[in-house]
Amino acid sequence: MTTAGGCLVFCGLLPDPAPASNGKPFPSGTWRGNVPTFCHDLVRDRRTIPPVAPDRRVEVCIVGGGLAGLAAAYRLRQASILLLEHLDRIGGHAIRDRWNDIWFSGAAAYFTSVEPPLDQLYAELKLPLRKIQEPVDGAILNHHRVIDPFGSGLPRLPYPPSARKDFARAKKDFLEILHSDDCPVMPIHQATATARRYDRVSFAAWLLQEKRYHPAVKAYVDLYCRSAFGAPSSEEISAFAGISFYASEFGDRYAFPGGNAQAAEFLRDAIDRAGQDRIVPGATVVRVERKRDGVLVTYVDRDGRPAAVEARAVVMAAPKYITRHLVQGLPQDQLEAMGELRYGSYLVGNVLCSAPITEAAYDTWTDTAPFTDFIVADWVTRGSAPSKAPSDRGAKRQVLTVYYPMGYQHDLLLADGAYNRYRSRIVEHLEILYPGAASKIEEVYLYRWGHTLCHGRPGWYTRKAALASRPLERIFFAHSDNQGFPAFESALAEGISTAEQAASAIAGKRASRPVREIRSWAPGSIGMVT
């Protein structure tokens, strides 16, 4: 990073040269998703910029333009607000793109619950919810293809009878938890004593030691833990979070064309209708500090120019691994609680196909590839349950969205040649799973997400969650990781709740933390929501 004319200039990552996969050349690839520019240089590496006098004053400044920040801005849209987002697009991980007539997600795919308090928000925004039609789940396990692994596909699972029996038992157990009062929910004070006890052990320990499921059940659930939480396995996740998420997978699931991005777009449009020029993309916040009469937020704009805004209150809708570096003066116990959350890195590949490769299920899970699962991008726009035979569908093209979690190996996606390497791996393994697939692939767009999916280890939810999200005078914390859940619903609920606290603060009222219980949480194929 250098300076030129008083502006910060980042020497960014160049696209990789054009590779060849399976003898078929691809154009030079350019990363989408997160771009590690000023955020790495100024936040991670703690480089400083000179103090900047504020050139704008607002009632509330919102830091972060993912779903939590947008939900907060929507609730505060009649006030004087400014939303700063470091990416060039709003939505955080809820973004989408289009190829020909097919919308596809750059990250977050689907969600589950449609219930209070979010049902009111969905109705206000007139969100076009679409239930995902069966078959929702398929799998390729040890090269065996299975539709509905926990239901009609049980006899086809490549496991011994004892394992198949435990798959059926697991489904029964998760459904019972989902519909009981003891389903884990956040905030933690809404959870029953029985639900809180789940936070004493890892999800793996609960599966293997308490429930004594066959190891094949745990291995299958591990695919989900990698995809939904970004964790290497269920050993790294509290059973409180794992049970909450996985139980919700046995209920109805919903999606928009191109994943969860449409919710972000509807929120943005509603904010813009209430007042223009209040959302600033390409603005990397580098410091948030309390002042005598409010809060000063310093940021760098997309051209590298430092700027500042003064606000009466601030909503921090950025993830805690960033927030803990931005907000000055956080108490040590809060810093430690934030620091104990873990985040997995993630790669999403959208595979553009000249003809369908598979249309057997909406989401296909596999243990025979480095990625965990892939979805048919336009499944919910077809209007009815698809045929198993692509030739009967009349689809001329297809986009498969591939979810490729990296665990805690954050630097792998920054390495030289990473774009070509992972693009080739996706193509090669789709060819293994579906012989002839490579000849149908026209291009693969890769989305890189550096520190994406949050999760807590045993004890975090009952002992640290409230500390991590505790307000600091007029600085309030939103984001889905308030709950330690990388979920669509968590982001929206936290954004709305925190906006109400900020509104109380600027009105001179005592800010209380509103109750916002969500029954179940769902990351979709990928937990990215914010």
- pLDDT bin (cut points 50, 70, 90) of residue 510 is low
Single pTM value for the model? 0.90
Report the pLDDT value the prediction gives residue 191, as an integer from 0 to 100: 97
- Does residue 159 register a pLDDT over 80? yes
User: What does DSSP assign to residue 329?
Assistant: T
Q: Crossing angle, helix 488-506 and helix 67-75, to 10 degrees?
A: 40
On average, the pLDDT of the chain sits at 89
Class of domain 34-94+259-340+457-506 as given by CATH: alpha beta
- pLDDT bin (cut points 50, 70, 90) of residue 372 is very high
What separation, in Å, do the N-terminal and C-terminal C-alpha atoms of the chain show? 27
Specify binding-site residues for FAD: 285
- Does residue 65 register a pLDDT over 80? yes
- Does residue 160 register a pLDDT over 80? yes
- The model's pLDDT over 511-521, given as tens digits with 9 standing for 90+, comes to 544 444 443 33
Specify binding-site residues: 285, 403
**DSSP letters for 158-178:** SS-HHHHHHHHHHHHHHHHHH
Q: Where are the beta strands (DSSP E) in 317-392?
A: 342-353, 363-366, 373-376
Report the pLDDT value the prediction gives residue 516, as an integer from 0 to 100: 45
- The model's pLDDT over 265-293, given as tens digits with 9 standing for 90+, comes to 999 999 999 999 999 999 999 999 999 88
- Does residue 147 register a pLDDT over 90? yes
Specify binding-site residues for substrate: 403
Report the pLDDT value the prediction gives residue 41, as an integer from 0 to 100: 62
Least confident of 11-15, 107-111, 137-141, 374-378: 11-15
Could you tell me which of 243, 159, 265 has the C-alpha nearest to residue 199?
A: 243
Q: Please name the residues in contact with 389: beta carbons below 8 A apart, sequence gap of 6 or more.
A: 359
- The model's pLDDT over 389-415, given as tens digits with 9 standing for 90+, comes to 444 455 689 999 999 999 999 888 888
> How confident is the model over 173-177, as a mean pLDDT?
98
> How confident is the model over 480-489, as a mean pLDDT?
96
212 vs 206, 218, 258, CA distance in Å? 8, 10, 38
Q: Structural domain boundaries of the chain?
A: 34-94+259-340+457-506
